[in-house]
Amino acid sequence: MRLELDAITKRFGSLVANDKVSLTVEPGEIHCLLGENGAGKSTLMNVLFGLLHADSGAIRIDGGAVRFADPGEAVRHGIGMVHQHFMLVPVFTAAENVVLGFEPTRPLGLLDRRRARADIRRLSVEFGLEVDPDAVVETLPVGVQQRVEILKALQRDARLLILDEPTAVLTPQETEALFSIMQSLKRSGRSILFITHKLKEVLSIADRITVMRLGKVVGATTPQEVDESELAAMMVGRDVELVVRKAESHPGEPVLELRNLRVVDERGVAVVDGVDLEVRAGEIVALAGVQGNGQTELAEAVTRLRPVSSGSIRLAGEDLTRASPREVIRAGVAHVPEDRQEDGLVLGMTVADNLVLDIYDVAPFAAHGVRDLARVRGNGETKLSEFDIRAPSADVAVGTLSGGNQQKVVVARELSRPVKLLLASQPTRGLDVGSIEYVHGRVVAARDAGSAVLVISSELDEVLALGDRIAVMYRGRITGIVGPGTGREEIGLMMAGVTVPPAEAPSTAGDGGAAGAGDTGDGGPHAGPAGGGAGKASGDPAPGKGSTR
């Protein structure tokens, strides 16, 4: 299908979300729509899918102008959309979800489950989309749920698939699998409109690229014509530092000491299984690992949000194994939680209030149980400029800010009290390039100010860019602690549970697929030159901050 968007304009009140946006998707093409959060990508896709109506402009399919009153019409015209947040019924099976709304029936209106299953099997085989038709969706991993969404679109004969930030929720292996599915769809002549803000993905999969910024198309190009930093500059509107600049670390005294830490979850499984880890003042320890190997639970145990079964947690010599979350905060632990909207912020409350969420009841923000509202607001305004938080004022609800600015609020709050240990879980997940650059800079600055830093990340690029030492976690255990010069493949293998002595580390360039090495297939160079992380700015163009999930 050939799709043309011609000068689409969409206003929300006085805001122009799409300003004369034009782009063309050729048949059998993977077209990437690149832009930061807030650039107007999702608005454009919602216009295309009939969820919103353009104020002006035209949509043409194979040359003929169309207007979709609702998504149903878009579907009938062969457009399928896979939303960032899946539209699946969790308690239904994969087959039931796929046929939902277009159910094949037998006489008397009975549901033809056999045909539904057969349809799925046929499509699965055709495009390499492995899904068990009878599996209940809520029990499936996220990557497989996404396949169900794609199957849903294919079952409705979609000839153009819109994938809205499809990789945001995927592990590296799942991303790989998705890309090969996209290639097979392309071979079948279907067009794909792929929306993302991750540069590496764009370069590895796109046939053509359209870049949006602030509601406008700012450029159209192909992967052959640009590199990562050019794309980043187009997207952000200025030159972007793709490498984390940091000097050599000078580790001091141990700050965080975990001894034989064990955490047992609700099901009785040891999710953290005898972890020994030390983080020293003035160093960044990056804890790598595929999501779900106990990193989340480790962080929750350290912040005392989750009970410890055995072992000990010490902070600067003080035993915190049985402390309360509040005592941990008071002891000098800054915590950037993995899920900022769920655990880090109260979205309906103001930016100023969120900036004092864990120091609201101590001086200078309160005395004798009474809050000093003027100070809270003053602190808010100060932090807005200090941490470059883009908000109209400190009095707006934090939920109205973009993801990157929300994370800056969390970081600003956590770093605004004396910090002995900074514990940052997935600190840049879902952020745009500019925000990632900013957050990384702050993490390094905290280290340089003498804090111990533990960064938990499932993003290998981030681990390599930030870590002075890299610890790898697999199934609740630390499988190894290595220096920053270690190769991606080696760390990738450790992430997959293979303990490799450094001497035998394979140096063959592979896709590291088995290891889940977060490399999205562009064969990016190894990050971090040997020699302790110093001088990273030289020579190494792309440790790939841009593709941080």
Q: Looking at 172-180, 182-190, 309-317, 336-344, which segment touches other proteins (CB under 8 A)?
A: 336-344
Determine the interface stretch with other proteins among 103-111, 142-150, 416-424, 453-461 (rule: CB under 8 A): 142-150
Q: CB-wise, 373 or 449, nearer to other proteins?
A: 373
**Candidate segments 201-209, 250-258, 385-393, 511-519, binder of other proteins by CB under 8 A:** 385-393
**207 to 246: interface string for other proteins, x by CB under 8 A:** -------xx-------------------------------
What's the CA gap between 162 and 184, in Å, rounded? Answer: 15
Q: Which of 28, 86, 441, 500 binds other proteins (CB under 8 A)?
A: 86
Cα–Cα distance measured from residue 90 to residue 97, given in angstroms and rounded to the nearest whole number:
9
90 binds other proteins (CB under 8 A): yes
In three-state secondary structure terms, 5 is strand
Q: What are the strands, taking DSSP E only, across 289-425?
A: 310-315, 318-319, 333-336, 366-367, 370-371, 421-425
In whole angstroms, how large is the CA radius of gyration of the chain? Answer: 24
Buried b (16+ CB within 10 A) or exposed e, 196-226: bbbbbbbbbbbbbbbbbbebbbebebebeeb
Q: Is 483 exposed, middle or buried (0-12, 13-18, 19+ CB in 10 A)?
A: middle
Closest CA to 96 of 114, 123, 84: 114
Which amino acid is it at 526?
Answer: H
426-465 residues in contact with other proteins (CB under 8 A) are none
Binds other proteins by CB under 8 A, chosen from 401, 446, 494, 496: 401
Residue nearer to other proteins on the CB measure, 220 or 396:
396
State which of positions 14-53 bind other proteins (CB under 8 A).
14-17, 37-43
Minimum CB separation from other proteins for residue 348, in Å? 5
Nearer to other proteins, 96 or 462 (CB): 96
Q: Is the peptide bond before 141 cis (omega within 30 degrees of 0)?
A: no
Two tokens, residue 470: 């890299």
Nearest residue to 149 (alpha-carbon basis) of 219, 69, 94, 70? 94
- Under the binding rule (CB under 8 A), the answer on residue 268 touching other proteins is no
State the Cα–Cα distance between residues 311 and 87, nearest whole angstrom.
42
Q: Which is nearer to other proteins, 87 or 269 (CB)?
A: 87
Closest distance to other proteins from the beta carbon of 360 (Å): 5
Task: Map the footprint of other proteins across residues 488-527, applying CB under 8 A.
Answer: none
Q: How far apart are CA 522 and CA 226, in angstroms?
A: 14
Least CB distance to other proteins at residue 215 (A): 7
Pick 37 or 60: Cβ nearer other proteins? 37
Cα separation, 289 vs 275, whole angstroms: 14
Question: And the tokens for 235?
Answer: 């997207």
530 lies in the site for other proteins, by CB under 8 A: no
Taking CB under 8 A as the rule, does residue 322 contact other proteins? no
- Which residues have a Cβ under 8 Å from the Cβ of 123 and sit 6 or more positions away? 129, 151, 154, 155
Stretches 184-192, 254-262, 313-321, 384-392: which one binds other proteins (CB under 8 A)? 384-392
Stretch that binds other proteins, among 87-95, 252-260, 500-508, 526-534 (CB under 8 A): 87-95
Smallest gap from Cβ 527 to other proteins, in A, equals 28
